[in-house]
Structure 1
């Protein structure tokens, strides 16, 4: 911009910073526009999808459907009841995979799950069971309206949170959170891991069922979406930081855990141990945040012409996405190694590529997309506070809108970026940011760290190509 006298007042720079830096050195104000060319070989497909007459209204409907959903905690039941899971059937995180391609932590979790179910007397003997594949089966959690953190292994005897959208009656499910470190979801299967899982099944699950049902029947079910709203105002981002959410859940359930629990015959020591376990497990609420996000995103599935991502999930080998306008099809690429902080003496060579269904939180606009709500998260996953703020701002460039229910105080209560748009990712080259834990690459190790990761870039052009193909078929 110049004055009538030809004096330069400011400069707008698009793309490379070389010119901007030179102008700034001359004390001229510079507005920097972060422009990038589209992803390679996507120009033709972007043009086709952009011309689709269904796209705009379809994306509006998909985003609106997601934002309308509220999630309530209505029950806690075994997976055999919630998901009709039969002996020998195992669920796992991420897109479909077979034993021969399974990563170390997924194999470890499956081996531990087989021992938990009594299919083998020693987890080490389970490998032969899965190699034969005659009496066991593997299926993604997402295919049964469920989600699982990290390896995400679910067996029939595991207890599941049951979330429901009161407006539609639709339900989603997730197992109970075991805590951090050497736990099944990180691929550990030592005797203490199995002992904890049996306690979850024999004590905590039934006690939570008693409390959740008492609260539901007397005052209405726990409003999980409401807790998410509050915890984002209190320093959580609902993926790798859930401290406020866990404490609010404990606030809502603890009176009923005591009164209804004692009435139902649970010992005082069982109630005390359960309260102590939840209170000391900052990640306990994650297993409610995840199915709440899935419940919202599933409402957008099947919207013809929509380019909105409805699932991001990893099995430790593959990273997959699903899109509203392409049905249940998975678009997959190699899972990436996270960049972050390691526990103890562990380092990058000890970590497995990214794993888990927990990226459903980012898909819904929280987690890595809401890092600005939780600047303290950088102490757990790496980076800096300015990085956290910049990440949330950057994610707005690849999303369809904002969620007014979930806002970011430090950004003037702007809604979190919501509705990842395949076309915007391909047009800008900006990839979704995910906060994640890191599992050891060798079965049995457990957690080795936490950090930041993005999907493999090629899966978005693959999804775009499929959208373009569907657009052409409708023309």
Structure 2
């Protein structure tokens, strides 16, 4: 050993590697991280499950082969149980609801004429006047607060491969909007216009166009600089090109106003994309033994995870406050903890997992272009596949990382990358910024422990 210069292998010790290199010592760094604390025994049990590999292959195969098509726009009253409001994230009660969630629920009460003012609305919600249910439990997703009430209109997306259906509300735009917890007169006026004009106009246009292939549209948008969570400029433009002639033909009286509204809202496509991601992820559900994540969602208080092999059970931890860029004079003290179902995009291999395709996203969520590329590359370590349709030009048209595996999260200690809007913590504030947020470790640890229990019970 002393006859030649030393050559040191450093394992998971970045500082040591840097110190040795500074002294001109040859090193071979090995990127290693310890597993999540307290998961070693459960991880070994789950990895030994003879069903796991085949179950994951079947589940992720269905996710990848899903073919979401936008088929219509429908009133929520057609698909909602009577007396029910939907909301984002895992189940939540009025008592535990955050400021923006309460604000959105109050606004929905006012919109539906179920209360005369915000105080009566809050009192009636506290008394259980309407049932609060997660969007995910009704084949739906909702951005931010995600509140859906009967008079709202929903995108309807069907999976042409596996036959599923998913729904998402129509996007109001940015700033002071219901999904960020605002409920003032302008918010309600816009929602009423969406009810009376936008929804019917879009429904008529889609009857004329027929189903729109969202998978193909989203694949094209990725190659035009979107990541399809916080950047949807290309996707919105592509959708507008398809809808515009049909809108003019079927809703001439309102076509200009509808087109102007969509043109002024770069995030209009987000909600259709969320429904596409939802129907794709739902195709992978209910595969016994699978450790594939099929939903991540936040209600402003809790961050919840669901996995294919454990049905509709939620595993939760406290939602974190995003780290990012703030609007105007707002700062971290004004931010509510993470909220919304839009993490379904990351679940399906988009959003934070596809940031390398959208270098301009860093101007919205913070960081540098290299950070966006690094974030995407890191997600290949915790996913089971690369999407055959959703490809990233900057990575040589490599497919986006898709199919989060709880065992890989536990083994690497890496958590999913999520980019998100930031809602003001006080009801009625609206959006205060955008950034990145880490899911809570507790949610993934709980999933793994429960998977291990299910393996022990099975065998």
TM-score, normalized by the shorter chain, greater than 0.5: yes
Residue from 48, 53, 70 that aligns with 1:51: 48
Query: Is residue 136 of structure 1 aligned with residue 133 of structure 2?
Result: no
Which residue in 1 is equivalent to 2:345?
A: 361
1:282 is paired with a residue whose SS is coil
Pairing of 1:253-292 with structure 2 (within 5 A): 253-262=243-252, 267=253, 270-292=254-276
- Per-residue CA distance 1:373-426 (angstroms, 9 max, x = gap): 011101100111111111001111111111121111111111111111111111
Query: Is residue 243 of structure 1 aligned with residue 229 of structure 2?
Result: no
- Per-residue CA distance 1:62-116 (angstroms, 9 max, x = gap): 11010010110111010011x2342x31000000010000000000000000010
Residue from 319, 325, 349 that aligns with 1:335: 319
Determine if contact 2:164/2:282 at 8 Å carries over to the other structure. Answer: no
Which residue in 1 is equivalent to 2:446?
A: 462
Moved more, 104-113 or 14-23: 14-23
1:310 is paired with a residue whose SS is strand
Relative to the length of structure 2, the TM-score reads 0.98
CA–CA distance in structure 2, aligned partners of residues 386 and 347 of structure 1: 25
2:230 is paired with a residue whose SS is coil
Which residue in 2 is equivalent to 1:202?
A: 196
Determine if contact 1:341/1:449 at 8 Å carries over to the other structure. Answer: yes
1:72 is paired with a residue whose SS is strand
Residue from 264, 279, 286 that aligns with 1:295: 279
Determine if contact 1:85/1:155 at 8 Å carries over to the other structure. Answer: no
Residue from 300, 303, 306 that aligns with 1:322: 306
Residue from 417, 426, 429 that aligns with 1:442: 426
Which residue in 2 is equivalent to 1:157?
A: 151
Determine if contact 1:309/1:422 at 8 Å carries over to the other structure. Answer: yes
CA–CA distance in structure 1, aligned partners of residues 439 and 344 of structure 2: 13
Query: Is residue 181 of structure 1 aligned with residue 175 of structure 2?
Result: yes
Q: Deviation at 1:121?
A: 2.2
CA–CA distance in structure 2, aligned partners of residues 84 and 22 of structure 1: 61
Q: Deviation at 1:28?
A: 5.1
CA–CA distance in structure 2, aligned partners of residues 195 and 163 of structure 1: 27
Which residue in 2 is equivalent to 1:69?
A: 66
Count of matched residue pairs: 458
- 5+ residue gaps, structure 1, are none
Determine if contact 2:293/2:306 at 8 Å carries over to the other structure. Answer: yes
Query: Is residue 84 of structure 1 aligned with residue 84 of structure 2?
Result: no
CA–CA distance in structure 1, aligned partners of residues 326 and 16 of structure 2: 39
Residue from 331, 336, 340 that aligns with 1:347: 331
Which residue in 2 is equivalent to 1:407?
A: 391
Residue from 276, 285, 292 that aligns with 1:308: 292
Determine if contact 1:235/1:374 at 8 Å carries over to the other structure. Answer: yes
Residue from 14, 17, 24 that aligns with 1:17: 14
- 5+ residue gaps, structure 2, are none
1:100 is paired with a residue whose SS is coil
1:101 is paired with a residue whose SS is coil
Q: Deviation at 1:30?
A: 4.1
CA–CA distance in structure 1, aligned partners of residues 140 and 15 of structure 2: 49
Residue from 147, 153, 177 that aligns with 2:141: 147
Query: Is residue 109 of structure 1 aligned with residue 92 of structure 2?
Result: no
